[in-house]
Structure 1
Amino acid sequence: MISDIILIGPKTTGKSTLGELLAQKLGIPQCSMDKLRWDYYKEINYDEELAKRIREKEGFIELYRYWKFFEAYAVERLLSEHSNCVIDFGGGHSVYEDDELFNRVQRVLESYNNVVLILPSPDLEESIQILNERNGGFVSKGFDFNEHFVKHHSNHNLAKFVVYTKDKTPEETRDEILQIVNI
């Protein structure tokens, strides 16, 4: 049984803030994917120049697609290297359109009891609206990332628990997480 707490969910849901609060309360390290991802990507030949060309020519949606293989690898690497900590994933690290990549991430997460999906509200449309207000909307070539990350099956299928942040302070949300996880 692995007792790490892993926070997943769309961009700007508060994963990093909650990760810091949980780590402080529990007296364990916080491990943030956003701080480590690029090092992991480079291990398997992430090409920054290619990524730049993709974004310039084809837009962020294609850059997002280019990242997916690297994101799955980063999840595997992060979890193999870090334990006894609170881990917060980047917004895209728990959403996979490709079944093979999703299955890889699902397999590596299945032994973790405390995978917590953070969303603003149980009402998915309201969650999208709240995220749009927080981050100004996240759309590329008509593809709405906030909507996609909120509604896509990946986050929901990977999570063992879901916690909603609407009308709660970060500390109240932290305490709710501590009440439901198995540590």
Structure 2
Amino acid sequence: CHVDAVRWGYYEQLGYDRALADQIAAEQGLIAMLRYCEPFDVAMLEQLLVDHSGIIDLGASNSVYENEALLCRAEAALAPVPYVILLLPSADPNASGAILKERLIQMLTAAGQSYSDELFSLNDYLLRQPANGRLAKQIVYTSGKQPDEICAEIVLLG
């Protein structure tokens, strides 16, 4: 289950207000908007674990919680899950940041979309959040590896 494909259905059920989120983003920035999303993200995670078996791809923004109580809820929800894998380019946050910025530029350019310094700052913020490390039970570093190599490494974790 790829969260980006199902997020809005869950958010709608939970009372997420897109207009308010857009207003927060416009007035306070993307990180403030993510803070607004945190309660919805943890409730969505809890329900996803009930609704879906197998792989759940959270993406970067759905596993970051500044609110300690919400992070603890996410940890509790994931506690029975044996494999919570964090994929990072490198163990070095600066190297990971540079690689992820390059990938983001390539992806947005290919899609004909613009990008901004705020987007890169958000990406770096997500990368450096300790919540990802707290939630992960395993970390797989991907730089220089082909997708089949990464998959093989993940399979070996089991």
Bigger share in helix = 2
Provide the C-alpha distance between the structure 1 equivalents of 2:30 and 2:130, rounded to a whole number of angstroms: 21
Q: Which moved more, 1:132-141 or 1:73-82?
A: 132-141
The answer to whether the aligner puts 1:56 opposite 2:34 as a matched pair is: no
The Cα shift of 1:138 comes to 7.0
Write out aligned runs for 1:1-183 (5 A).
31-83=1-53, 85-136=54-105, 139-140=117-118, 144-180=121-157, 182=158
Higher RCO, 1 or 2 (CA under 8 Å, sep at least 6)?
Answer: 1
Distance verdict in 2 for CA 1:166–1:138, change over 3 Å: farther
**Once superposed, what is the RMSD of the aligned Cα atoms?**
1.9
Measured in 1, the distance between the counterparts of 2:96 and 2:144 equals 12
What is the identity percentage for the equivalent residue pairs of Structure 1 and Structure 2? 38
**Matched-pair contact (CA < 8 Å) for 1:32–1:88:** yes
Q: CA deviation at 1:38?
A: 0.9
Q: Report the CA distance shift for 1:138/1:82 in structure 2 as closer, same or farther (over 3 A).
A: farther
**Structure 1 residues 69 and 138 mapped into 2: Cα distance closer, same or farther (>3 Å)?**
farther
| Gapped regions of structure 2 (runs ≥ 5) | 106-114
Give, in angstroms, the shift of residue 127 of structure 1. Answer: 0.4
Q: Is the 8 A contact 1:95 1:155 kept in 2?
A: yes
Distance 1:173 1:124, change over 3 A: same
Where does structure 1 lack aligned partners over 5 or more consecutive residues? 1-30
TM-score, length of structure 1 as denominator length: 0.75
TM superposition shift of 1:123: 1.3
Residue 6 of structure 1 is matched in structure 2 by: none
* Amino acid aligned to 1:49: A
Which stretch shows the higher mean deviation, 156-165 or 43-52?
43-52
**DSSP-derived class of the 1:114 partner:** coil
TM-score of the pair, normalised by structure 2: 0.86
Q: 1:152/1:172 Cα in 2 relative to 1: closer, same or farther (>3 Å)?
A: same
AA partner of residue 115 (structure 1):
V
Residue identity matched to 2:76 = R
Aligned residue in 2 for 1:11: none
How many residue pairs match? The answer is 149
- Choose between structure 1 and 2: higher strand proportion: 1
